Structure 1
Amino acid sequence: MINFFNFLKRNLSKIFIGKLIFICSAVSAYADVENIDNQKLKALLLEGISIVDIREEFEWRETGIIPNSHLITFFDSAGKYNLEKWLIELKTNVKRYDPLIIICRSGRRSLILADYLSSKELFFKVYNVEAGINGWKSESMGVQSVQ
């Protein structure tokens, strides 16, 4: 019994570190959200990664959208949201294990949703467009109009 306690005393930190590494690797299977700039966004779009624009419909009409965006507004015209309904629509447009880009006007709303999706392990890799559509347009990147 004394040998066992001596073993624990000598190796407890190694055991703890080993378990910590195991736990961290299990958690990191679903990576944190990656905030991306416009150059990275452009590269990901060229790879065919899905982009979801969560802004309200009037915002799409005001600024335009990035071509081939999935238009899945998170808020209704009254500013209310229905997370379950939004997730159902998202899952019908984007496969769960595919990477996913989320965009809004300035990057704030999309970051909140991207963090949620990542924390709930709903998607394997989630990107947030840090400056949103405003940043995209400020660099004269292409948008298409919405009627």
Structure 2
Amino acid sequence: MLKKNLILHSFILYMVFFSNILGAADLTNLTPSEVNSGLGKDAIIIDIRTPQEWQKTGIIPGSHPLSFFDPNGKYNTQQWLAEVQKLQSTPDQEIILVCHSGGRSGRVGTLLSEKLNMSNVSHLQNGITGWLKEQRPTEKACTPTQTC
């Protein structure tokens, strides 16, 4: 009985201390300064807002407009990921998500990191609103259906 308890306690301690290694990565919240420092690097910045939102505020220079949700709030994760993969140079390339205020990008980032076990996903906390509040630049969004 003592041996069984010792094994059980050892297993529990193992799970407590090493579950972070085995589990999904946590979503990282980035400030506008941190996103700005990633602009010239290997990270892919993806703006998941709607085309109407891109038109209203513009997008972060160098980012990729790629809506996650349709106008009814529905999404097709596989189709969206297929588009993301076209942008990636490697499967583990860092992805930084942007939305209006950080809510949607946080939910999408959590979905990607916890449910799909993607390890290199971050999002801009406070979204484009925080970016604009710091008077950071934007550019016009060019999409396949719109010429710039």
Calculate the TM-score normalised by the size of structure 1. Answer: 0.83
Alignment of 1:58-73 (within 5 A): 58-73=52-67
The answer on 1:47 being equivalent to 2:41 is yes
Count of residue pairs the alignment pairs up: 141
**Could you report, residue by residue, the CA deviation over 1:70-110 in whole angstroms, capped at 9, with x for unpaired residues?**
11112335554333321211122124311110001111111
The answer on 1:135 being equivalent to 2:130 is yes
Runs of 4+ in 1 over 6 A off after TM superposition: none
Larger helix proportion, structure 1 or 2? Answer: 1
Tell whether the 8 Å contact from 2:46 to 2:97 is kept in structure 1 after alignment: yes
- What secondary structure is seen at the aligned counterpart in 2 of 1:45? coil
**Cα pair distance change 1:67/1:122, threshold 3 Å:** farther
Identity of aligned residues (%): 31
The answer on 1:98 being equivalent to 2:78 is no
Query: Residues of 2 paired with 1:93 and 1:22: CA distance?
Result: 33
Name structure 2 gaps, 5 residues minimum: 142-147
Name structure 1 gaps, 5 residues minimum: none
**Cα pair distance change 1:75/1:121, threshold 3 Å:** closer
Kindly name which structure, 1 or 2, has the bigger radius of gyration based on alpha carbons.
1
RMSD (CA atoms):
2.1
Calculate the TM-score normalised by the size of structure 2. Answer: 0.82
Instruction: Select the residue among 2, 6, 15 that pairs with 1:6.
Output: 2
